[in-house]
Amino acid sequence: MSSNETPRGPVDSSRVPRYAGPATFARLPRLDEVGTADVAVVGVPFDSGVSYRPGARFGGNAIREASRLLRPYNPAQDASPFALAQVADGGDIAVNPFDIHEAVDTIEAAADDLLGTGARLMTLGGDHTIALPLLRSVAKKHGPVALLHFDAHLDTWDTYFGAEYTHGTPFRRAVEEGILDTEALSHVGTRGPLYGKQDLTDDEKMGFGIVTSADVYRRGADEVADQLRQRIGDRPLYISIDIDCLDPAHAPGTGTPEAGGMSSRELLEILRGLASCNLVSADVVEVAPAYDHAEITSVAASHTAYELTTIMARRIAAARTA
């Protein structure tokens, strides 16, 4: 969007009922309706990398459906994200469900195209495998990026059944490829049984810090966000949110649920505490609607993507007026 254009916002829900018409994220225009966007919301319907329950291929559309109720002003960040920047729904990246290597390449190429237009990406998964090609693309543009990874799991394991591209391995691959800034890597919400203590030793060697789910409970969202913000500074930041960072009570619709997770309130508050960060792109993954009830998980995911989008829109607007 050039500086003298007004962004095209969502369909007005006081004129067209919010349950009418096909779903785009937050009822925003499609990317092909606006040409280019500052933030492109894209779906990646891919779940061939999962180790347990499948179904995250339907996550993006479930999040879009649940996002119909979002409103244009975000009081928690005192910002109207869709007025500050052009946010548009770029539809889905069509990926091969039968060939993971091809799928990973397709996602990277599609992300290259979108980032090449100047857009930041708000990606809706899909399983966590997709974070690797997204990070590859973001690193081509920005160099190695800081990573905040919200997840019950480390996702720094080596292989499953000999496969290197799975939803449990994207961040080990990313570290091996040198596309992450190892000075600023954190997992948040970590919990649950591991294969062995070595998982933690390996993870630490890769440079990750861990804020467990229990740490968030004990120290509170504000203190955690302050600590993370200090570590990240103004580095280009990628945030990857596996919805299973939330307790199964807050996100039952996911493939590898673990008890004892964060509440959606804690997650949203931590994100709001990161509002000043230079968020260059983000994903929300692992929403598997077949295990969901009353859209609990997809509503949480839609609000999560809304906070992330607001952070990006504020940054874009601030850069425009600087």
Which residues contact ligand ALG by CB under 6 A? 51-52, 128, 153, 155, 167-168, 242, 244, 255-256, 286
Range 16-22 contact pairs with CB under 8 angstroms and sequence separation of 24 or more: 18/68, 18/69, 19/68
Closer by beta carbon to ligand ALG, 38 or else 244: 244
Residues 321, 226: Cα–Cα separation, whole Å: 26
Give the one entry of Zn ion, ligand ALG, none that residue 307 binds, where binding means its C-beta sits below a cut-off of 5 to 8 angstroms depending on kind: none
Closer by beta carbon to ligand ALG, 128 or else 315: 128
Give the one entry of Zn ion, ligand ALG, none that residue 51 binds, where binding means its C-beta sits below a cut-off of 5 to 8 angstroms depending on kind: ligand ALG
DSSP output for 191-224: -S--S-THHHHHHHHTTEEEEEHHHHHHH-HHHH
Which stretch of DSSP H or E encloses residue 39? Answer: strand 39-44
CB of 242 to ligand ALG, least distance (A): 5
CB of 253 to ligand ALG, least distance (A): 12
Give the one entry of ligand ALG, Zn ion, none that residue 292 binds, where binding means its C-beta sits below a cut-off of 5 to 8 angstroms depending on kind: none
CB of 297 to ligand ALG, least distance (A): 13
CB of 100 to Zn ion, least distance (A): 16
Alpha-carbon Rg for the chain, nearest whole angstrom, is 18
CB of 226 to ligand ALG, least distance (A): 27
Which stretch of DSSP H or E encloses residue 125? Answer: strand 120-125
Closer by beta carbon to Zn ion, 119 or else 262: 262
Tell me how many degrees the CA angle 280-235-159 measures, rounded to the nearest 5. Answer: 75
Give the one entry of Zn ion, ligand ALG, none that residue 316 binds, where binding means its C-beta sits below a cut-off of 5 to 8 angstroms depending on kind: none
